[in-house]
Amino acid sequence: MGSRIGLKDVALRAGVSVPTASRVLSGVQRNVDPELALRVRNACDELGYRVNAAARALRIQSTDSLALVVPAIANAYFAELVSAYSRRLDLQGKRLVTIDTGESPESEERQLGAMDRVLVDAVLVVPAAFERSGAAITELARSNRVVQVDRRARGVEAPSVRLDNAAGVRLLVEHLRARGRRSILMVDAQEDSSSSIERTAAFRALAGPDDRVLEMPNFTVASGTDAAKLLLANPGDTDAIICTADTVALGLLTALQHAGKRVPAEYAITSFDGTYISDTAAPGLTTLGSTAERMVEASLALLDDGSDDVVLKPELVVRGSSG
Amino acid sequence: MGSRIGLKDVALRAGVSVPTASRVLSGVQRNVDPELALRVRNACDELGYRVNAAARALRIQSTDSLALVVPAIANAYFAELVSAYSRRLDLQGKRLVTIDTGESPESEERQLGAMDRVLVDAVLVVPAAFERSGAAITELARSNRVVQVDRRARGVEAPSVRLDNAAGVRLLVEHLRARGRRSILMVDAQEDSSSSIERTAAFRALAGPDDRVLEMPNFTVASGTDAAKLLLANPGDTDAIICTADTVALGLLTALQHAGKRVPAEYAITSFDGTYISDTAAPGLTTLGSTAERMVEASLALLDDGSDDVVLKPELVVRGSSG
DNA sequence: TTTGGTTCGGAAATGGTTTTCCCGGCGGTG
DNA sequence: CACCGCCGGGAAAACCATTTCCGAACCAAA
């Protein structure tokens, strides 16, 4: 049984007792002689000892890590959200473990169902779907602290932090109208996500007879280029576009430019996420500012004090793509 | 202390012993009376019981999860790598937990040092730096199974799976020369990563007097646009560019186009990663094909059979950006 | 009645932390 | 000088929740 080295091996080599070794390593529960502490630390080095995560967590009932479950890490919006959480938690000495559900409620259910194999103190989840994610998240929330981030799922009582999507749509529509645009096309993904639902609903409520909605299969750059083809095949009076994701806007922008269309002269393009894409596209994309930092702050605060839902106000960032 | 519900609560409610409840739930180690099994399962539902990850892992000495440590999840290349791992492991019923080190050796050291707070069976790591990552990874490898992916760190004995960068550079250079280009600029990031080192070394070995290297601070799209500014300020004879990342190539491409330059007529642009970016840019980027799937397969196989280093052969994917 | 197989429960094991109890030494006080 | 309290350390055991080993009981077949 000498295979794995445990704390008692360290204590033995350092010539101290197990409690003392523990006191040196983990807590400052009580003062220990600096000389003994040094011996313990040296013994650790020499033996290559590392504390057993499972044993420690079992006793302590706490790991210093959170899980973040996102639908698609390849989406720049979620990638930036992950980065923001990771940086923020790193400052606190905590770890973020990220899990990708591939925009698939089935995979999400598997991963959430197996979350009891991963050691975390709480789970931050961006639900893949509004309807189909509810059951798995509710189940998870029975035994874990759960916060819904960016999206919600139907019937889940876990608190949520999200953007005021209706206000965001209103900001973009009013901006485009103020610039004299008459016919707006909203390009959305037909994913069953709460944010998509809220955005299209808000848009339809504000839309006039000349405004349209185009549903693409997902939030990828390729969907943007496909949307451009569909638009060019059936241009109508459209002179302005609202994309519900920066990735889609990027594909749309480059495809329109490649087809010889001028942006913003012929088409004003706006978008939602405020990722680096909106900043580096040429021309820059008018978009709602990034809410990643605020979402991170709000959701972590919510985990601490257990307050209620948080709805963030969007801000408009005007760049060249809207004239 | 009745706060958290454990297996003994389930057993009590179901009127069976703890071992029997365990047999019903986790393993099919032995047959149990179907009637008892049903009682156990009902008790679980009613109590909302979920197995304790720490206790299970402590006893079993295994979780079905791997950790993947990447330098920057916001980089499309790593995001696609994460997705590929996640999909592949999902098929096997395993989980992937991803950790972002923000291209910072300090953060990497903290995160790797605290890896004993996360429950995983093995760690796949993309070292942030060639020189400065070695110590932390070596230390980690003393107590964990570790595989280096995509990059290596100096002096680490853990096996690695990586691209044959020299062959990749040769493919691109020969392709550009075959298209009649005379003066190639390599745009790299001055990060201390093994892949960057190998690529610039291979390029310098092949380079003629008209070829140059430009070192940008990092692998972001913004670095690409900055590189374009530097290039336009000092154009020399450059008629071809090799970027060591798709993100950089994207920024460079759009910035050059925005400045009125024609691609590929005036500048042929090629790149390395083969992410979705190379496919959706306009024109498409000539690049080395994505090796994500092969890296995933090779590294997982390596974990299974403990074989040696794997070096993947690159493939050239020709698109419009190189003429 | 014995034998063999099946199923269940008590107890050990997993590894680290924490508590309890004790001890020896040290300094201050009466 | 005796006494008291405090402080740092050690031995042993409890604890965390689960799995597994092993013995016991039971039922059916021989």
pLDDT (tens digit per residue) in A220-249? 999 999 999 999 999 999 999 999 999 999
Residue where the block lists tokens 């523990």: A22
DSSP character string of B175-236: HHHHTT---EEEEEE----HHHHHHHHHHHHH--TT-EEEEESSSSHHHHHHHHHHHHHS-T
Which residues from B are below 8 Å from A76, CB to CB? Answer: 74, 76
Residues A56, A6: contact at Cβ < 8 Å? no
Q: What burial class does residue A207 get, using C-beta atoms within 10 Å of its C-beta: 0-12 exposed, 13-18 middle, 19+ buried? A: middle
Query: Is B48–A225 a contact, with Cβ atoms under 8 angstroms apart?
Result: no
Tokens coding B104: 């910072």
Contacts of B138 (CB under 8 A, 6+ apart): B155, B156, B157, B158
Query: Is B277–A72 a contact, with Cβ atoms under 8 angstroms apart?
Result: no
Q: 3-class DSSP state for residue B249?
A: helix
Q: How confident is the model at residue A142 (pLDDT cuts 50, 70, 90)?
A: confident
φ, ψ for residue B262 (rounded to 5)?
-100, 130
A280 touches chain B (CB under 8 A): yes
Instruction: Give residue A3's pLDDT.
Output: 52
φ, ψ for residue B166 (rounded to 5)?
-60, -45
Radius of gyration of chain B (CA): 25
Indicate whether B32 pLDDT > 90: no
B73 touches chain A (CB under 8 A): yes
Indicate whether A172 pLDDT > 80: yes
* A-contacting residues in B 100-119 (Cβ below 8 Å): 100, 102, 107, 110-111, 114, 116-119
Q: How confident is the model at residue B11 (pLDDT cuts 50, 70, 90)?
A: very high
Q: How confident is the model at residue B27 (pLDDT cuts 50, 70, 90)?
A: low
The three-state DSSP-derived secondary structure of chain A is CCCCCCHHHHHHHHCCCHHHHHHHHCCCCCCCCHHHHHHHHHHHHHHCCCCCHHHHHHHHCCCCEEEEEECCCCCHHHHHHHHHHHHHHHHCCCEEEEEECCCCHHHHHHHHHHHHHCCCCEEEECCCCCCCCHHHHHHHHCCCCEEEECCCCCCCCCCEEEECHHHHHHHHHHHHHHCCCCCEEEEEECCCCHHHHHHHHHHHHHCCCCCEEEEECCCCHHHHHHHHHHHHHCCCCCCEEEECCHHHHHHHHHHHHHCCCCCCCCCEEEECCCCHHHHHCCCCCEEECCCHHHHHHHHHHHHHHCCCCEEECCCEECCHHHC
Query: Is A90–B110 a contact, with Cβ atoms under 8 angstroms apart?
Result: yes
E strand map for B58-183: 65-70, 95-100, 122-125, 146-149, 160-163
Instruction: Give residue A2's pLDDT.
Output: 40
Q: 3-class DSSP state for residue B82?
A: helix
CATH class of B165-291+317-322: alpha beta
Instruction: Give residue A128's pLDDT.
Output: 95
Q: 3-class DSSP state for residue B247?
A: helix
Instruction: Give residue B34's pLDDT.
Output: 84
How do strand B65-70 and strand B122-125 relate by DSSP bridges?
parallel
Which residues from B are below 8 Å from A72, CB to CB? Answer: 83
Residue B13: its H or E element: helix B7-14
Q: 3-class DSSP state for residue B141?
A: helix
Mean pLDDT of A84-112: 93
Residue where the block lists tokens 């949520």: A160
Instruction: Give residue B118's pLDDT.
Output: 87
Nearest nucleotide to the CA of B31, by C1', is C7
How many contacts, defined by CB atoms under 8 Å, are there between A and B?
188
* Domain covering A65-158, topology: Rossmann fold (3.40.50)
CA distance A258 to A235: 16
Nearest nucleotide to the CA of A15, by C1', is D10
Query: Is A97–B98 a contact, with Cβ atoms under 8 angstroms apart?
Result: yes
B68 touches chain A (CB under 8 A): no
Indicate whether B30 pLDDT > 70: no
**CB contact burial B205-230 (16+ within 10 A = b; e otherwise):** ebbeeebbebebebbbbbbbbbbbee
Instruction: Give residue A29's pLDDT.
Output: 58
CA A115, A117, A120, A121 dihedral sign is positive
**Greater confidence, B174 or B3?**
B174
Instruction: Give residue B100's pLDDT.
Output: 96
Residue where the block lists tokens 């992950």: A82
φ, ψ for residue A150 (rounded to 5)?
70, -40
Q: Which of A1-5, A257-261, B30-34, B291-295 has the lowest mean pLDDT?
A: A1-5
Q: How confident is the model at residue B28 (pLDDT cuts 50, 70, 90)?
A: low
Question: What integer best gives the mean pLDDT of chain B?
Answer: 93
- How far apart are the CA of A101 and the nearest CA of chain B, in angstroms? 8
CA distance A272 to A164: 12
Mean pLDDT of A182-190: 96
Indicate whether A97 pLDDT > 90: yes
Residue B240: its H or E element: strand B240-243
Residues B69, B127: contact at Cβ < 8 Å? no
Tokens coding A243: 């994309």
Question: Which nucleotides of chain D have an atom under 7 angstroms from any protein CB?
Answer: 7-13, 15-21
Instruction: Give residue A323's pLDDT.
Output: 84
Q: 3-class DSSP state for residue B111?
A: helix
Q: How confident is the model at residue A307 (pLDDT cuts 50, 70, 90)?
A: confident
A82 touches chain B (CB under 8 A): yes
Name the β-bridge partners of A125: A69, A148
φ, ψ for residue B301 (rounded to 5)?
-60, -40
| Candidate ranges A113-127, A218-232, B50-64; pick with highest mean pLDDT | A218-232
Which residues from B are below 8 Å from A51, CB to CB? Answer: 116
> What region, left, alpha or beta, does residue B15 occupy, with left being phi > 0 and alpha being psi -120 to 50 degrees?
left
- Beta sheet of A240-243, edge-to-edge order: A212-216, A184-189, A240-243, A268-271, A286-288, A316-317
**Nearest chain A alpha carbon to B5:** A143
Residues B76, A61: contact at Cβ < 8 Å? no
Q: Which of A115-119, B163-167, B263-267 has the lowest mean pLDDT?
A: A115-119
**Nearest chain B alpha carbon to A222:** B280
DSSP character string of B19-32: HHHHHHHT--SS--
CA distance B232 to B226: 10
Q: How confident is the model at residue B227 (pLDDT cuts 50, 70, 90)?
A: very high
CA distance B204 to B219: 20
Residue B316: its H or E element: strand B316-317
Indicate whether B1 pLDDT > 90: no
Residue ranges matching CATH 3.40.50.2300 in chain B: 65-158, 165-291+317-322
Tokens coding B106: 């300090």
